[in-house]
Structure 1
Amino acid sequence: MQKTDKAGPRGSRGWMARCVLCAALALAAQAATGAAAGSNPIIRDKFTADPAPLVVGDTLYLYVGHDEAQRDEMFNMREWLVYSTKDMRTWTSHAPIMNVKDFKWAKADAWASQTIEKNGKFYFYAAVEHDATNPGKAIAVAVSDKPTGPFVDARGSALVTNEMTPKGTHSWEDIDPTVFTDDDGTTWLAWGNRQCYIAKLKPNMVEIDGPIQEITPPHFEEGPWLHKRGKLYYLTYASLDRATQRDEHVSYSTAPSITGPWTYRGLLTGSGKYSFTIHPGIVQFKDNWYLFLHNATLAIGDMNGAIGRRAVTVEHLQYNADGTMKAVVQSDAGISAPPAR
C-alpha cells in the first residue's frame, strides 16, 4: 500500500477529506490487485530499481532510481526518488530528490545510489555518466539537511572518475556506490562493475582519503552493499557466474575487518523474476533485518516490466548462529508473510 506526501492544511476539513479519500483509493487498489500490505512489489505507482534503505529514528527511507524506459528502450533513468515508511507496510512517496541534470558536469543516467547520515547532514552518492571532459561512468556526491532533500551537488565535480581506476577493463566500472560508517566513525565507499573497489572517505564526506583498493570477490558483477552485524562485516553484491547463469543473482562475502580479508560465502538469493539485473540493499529496522531487491514483475497500464522497467521488492533476512545469512527465497508475499523458521 502506498500513500503520497502532499502539502496541505493539516487542520482543515479538506485535508481530512483527502486523507479519507486517499485511504479508500489505496484500499480499493490493493483489493483490485489482491495485494496484501507488505507484499511485492512494494512500490506500484512507478517503475523503480536499485533500492537503498536508510533508517533515521523510527522511519525507514528508501532511495530508488526511476525507470522510465519506453517500449524497447534498455535504460532511461533521469531522477532519483525516495519513499518512507514507519511500519514496512505503508509507503509514503516524496518529491524527487534529484535529477541527473543537477550535476552540471554529468550528462545522463541516474543510476544506483545510496544515502548516509553523518554529522547532522545527509550525503547522497550516485552513479552517473560524466560529460565529454572525463568520459565514462562516475560517482557523484550530494548533500541535504533532510533525508527527503532537496539534495545539491556537494563538490561541483565527480568524487570518482574512470581515470581514477586505470586497471579496470571498461568505461562503466565506476558505478553503484555503497557507503558505510564503521564503529570508529570512519566512512568507507565501495563501488564497481566487474571490479569491486573500496576507499576511505575524508571526514568531510566529499573526498577520497588514501588509496583506492580492489577487493573483487568471486562472480562479482555490480551493486555492492556494505553492512555490519556484531563483529562481522558483509559485502553483498549482484553476482553472475557467466559459465552457468543467464541473469544476475545475489552473493556475499564476510570479513573480520572492513579491510578484509574477505571470505566468499556463496549465494544469498537467486535472480529477480523477469530481470537480468538485481541490486541488494540490507538494513535493520525495529529489530528486524530486511533484504531489498528488484525484479521486473510490475505492469503499469499497458507497460509491462522489462530490463528498464523494474520494481522494488523486500524480503525478511535472517542469520545463522555463525553469522552467515540464511538463503532468501524471493516471493510475491514478501514481508506480508511471517519469516520462515
Structure 2
Amino acid sequence: MTSLPPRTGNPIIRHKFTSDPAAIVYNGTVYLYTGHDESPPGTQGYVMNDWLCFSSEDMIHWKEHPVPLKAKDFAWAKGDAYASQVAHRDGKFYWYAAVTHASFKGGAIGVAVASSPAGPFTDARGSALITNDEATRTIIDPAVFIDDDGQAFLFWGKSKCYYARLKRNMTELDGAPTEISVPGFEEGAHVHKRGEWYYLSYGFEFPEKVAYAMSRSIDGPWEFKGILNELAGNCQTNRPCIIDFKGTSYFIYHNGGLPQGGSHRRSVCIDHLYYNADSTMKRVIMTTEGVLGGTRYDLRGTI
C-alpha cells in the first residue's frame, strides 16, 4: 500500500490515468475502485488491463493498494477491464466487472469475490454472470445496489438500460432481466437511495452528460429529472458515482483533465453533491478545487 500526496483539487489521482469510478464506504473509510487507462499518448482506443483501488479516511489523503483485480483473472475473458462496481455483503466483497468474453462475441459481466475491500479478488463463479447470449449484446457497465430489505439488484446496459435481481449469494441472477425506459440512456448506470427515493444516474446522450431519474420503487416507474452534470472537460464519456460519507454527499466522475489526458486517458474527480428540499438533486458544478478538505460550496458560495 502506497500513500499518495494529499490532493485537495481535481483530478484526485495524478500519477496514473483512472476512469469509471465506483466507491463504497466501509468501516469509516472510502474505497475507490477505478479503471486504468493505459492508451499511449497520441493514440486513440481503450487500453485497459486491470482495475485499481484507492482508500481514504478524509477524501484528501489517499492510499493506493496493490492491483486487486485484472481482466484476465477471469480465465474465460479475453481481456478489457471496463467499468465495474463493488458491493459488500455478509463479510465479503463482490466486484462486478465488464470484460470482453473469449468465447462469445461482445461483452460480458463477471463477478469476483474477496474477504477484504482492497482484495485480492478472485473469480467467484468460473464463468460469466451475464453474456450476450442470455439477454442482450449491450453487456457493459454493471452497477450493483442492495436495498434496505437486503434484496440486491444488478444494472447494466449500452443504449438500453437493464436490471435484474441477484440471489442472496450475489453470484447468480434471480429472474429474467427487465428493461428500464429513461430518456437518452447511453451507459454508466448508478443507483442509490436517499430516504424514500431511488435515484438512477447515467451517461446521457453522446458526448455524455450525466442525467438522472427518480422513483418511489426500484421497479419504477422512473421519472426523468434532467441533467445532473454537464459534459466533462476533454472527454466524451462520463460515469457517475454518488456516496454519502461522514454526513456529506459526494459526486465522483471522470474527465480528461490531466496533461495528455482525453477520452482514452481519463482521470477521476470528486465534487460535492447537494439536494433540494423536494429531494431532487442540484446540478453538480465541476471544479478544479475539488472538495477542499471538507469546505463545502454550492452555487451561492461557501456554506
Q: State the TM-score bracket (shorter-chain normalisation).
A: over 0.9
Q: Does 1:51 align with 2:16?
A: no
Q: Does 1:334 align with 2:290?
A: yes
Structure 1 counterpart of 2:115: 145
Separation in structure 1 between the aligned mates of residue 181 and residue 56 of structure 2, nearest angstrom: 34
Q: Secondary structure at the match of 1:101?
A: helix
- The aligned amino acid for 1:138 is A
Q: 2:272 aligns with which of 316, 324, 328?
A: 316
Cα-to-partner distance string for 1:166-218 (whole Å, 9 max, x where unaligned): 4xxxx4x1110110110110000001110100000000100000121000310
Separation in structure 1 between the aligned mates of residue 27 and residue 274 of structure 2, nearest angstrom: 22
Q: Does 1:237 align with 2:237?
A: no
Q: 2:187 aligns with which of 213, 217, 222?
A: 222
* Shift, 1:108, TM fit: 1.6
Q: Secondary structure at the match of 1:40?
A: coil
* Shift, 1:326, TM fit: 0.4
Separation in structure 1 between the aligned mates of residue 297 and residue 176 of structure 2, nearest angstrom: 41
Q: 2:157 aligns with which of 168, 192, 196?
A: 192
Separation in structure 2 between the aligned mates of residue 179 and residue 274 of structure 1, nearest angstrom: 28
Separation in structure 1 between the aligned mates of residue 31 and residue 148 of structure 2, nearest angstrom: 22
Separation in structure 2 between the aligned mates of residue 95 and residue 273 of structure 1, nearest angstrom: 29
Cα-to-partner distance string for 1:23-46 (whole Å, 9 max, x where unaligned): 8xx47xxxxxxxxx3210001110
* Shift, 1:321, TM fit: 0.9
Structure 1 counterpart of 2:242: 282
Q: Identity, % of aligned pairs?
A: 47
Separation in structure 2 between the aligned mates of residue 99 and residue 256 of structure 1, nearest angstrom: 37
- The aligned amino acid for 1:159 is L
Q: Which runs of 5+ in 1 are unaligned?
A: 7-21, 28-36, 241-245
* Shift, 1:307, TM fit: 1.5
Separation in structure 2 between the aligned mates of residue 199 and residue 338 of structure 1, nearest angstrom: 36
Q: 2:65 aligns with which of 88, 91, 94?
A: 94
Separation in structure 1 between the aligned mates of residue 60 and residue 272 of structure 2, nearest angstrom: 13
Q: Does 1:182 align with 2:147?
A: yes
Structure 1 counterpart of 2:74: 103
Structure 2 counterpart of 1:79: 50
Separation in structure 1 between the aligned mates of residue 164 and residue 8 of structure 2, nearest angstrom: 36
Q: Secondary structure at the match of 2:85?
A: strand
* Structure (1 or 2) with the greater strand fraction: 2
Q: 2:229 aligns with which of 246, 269, 287?
A: 269
- Relative to the length of structure 1, the TM-score reads 0.85
Separation in structure 2 between the aligned mates of residue 256 and residue 338 of structure 1, nearest angstrom: 29
* Shift, 1:297, TM fit: 1.0
Separation in structure 2 between the aligned mates of residue 307 and residue 332 of structure 1, nearest angstrom: 18
Q: 1:211 aligns with which of 176, 200, 216?
A: 176
Structure 2 counterpart of 1:18: none
Separation in structure 1 between the aligned mates of residue 282 and residue 14 of structure 2, nearest angstrom: 28
* Shift, 1:338, TM fit: 2.2
Q: Which runs of 5+ in 2 are unaligned?
A: none
Separation in structure 2 between the aligned mates of residue 339 and residue 232 of structure 1, nearest angstrom: 24
Separation in structure 1 between the aligned mates of residue 222 and residue 263 of structure 2, nearest angstrom: 31
Separation in structure 2 between the aligned mates of residue 109 and residue 74 of structure 1, nearest angstrom: 11
Q: Over aligned residues, Cα RMSD in angstroms?
A: 1.3
Q: Secondary structure at the match of 2:133?
A: helix
Cα-to-partner distance string for 1:36-70 (whole Å, 9 max, x where unaligned): x3210001110000000100021000000000001
* Shift, 1:278, TM fit: 0.5
* Shift, 1:120, TM fit: 0.6
- Relative to the length of structure 2, the TM-score reads 0.95
Larger radius of gyration: 1
Separation in structure 2 between the aligned mates of residue 220 and residue 262 of structure 1, nearest angstrom: 13
Q: Secondary structure at the match of 2:148?
A: coil
* Structure (1 or 2) with the greater helix fraction: 1
- The aligned amino acid for 1:137 is G
Runs of at least 4 residues off by over 3 Å:
none
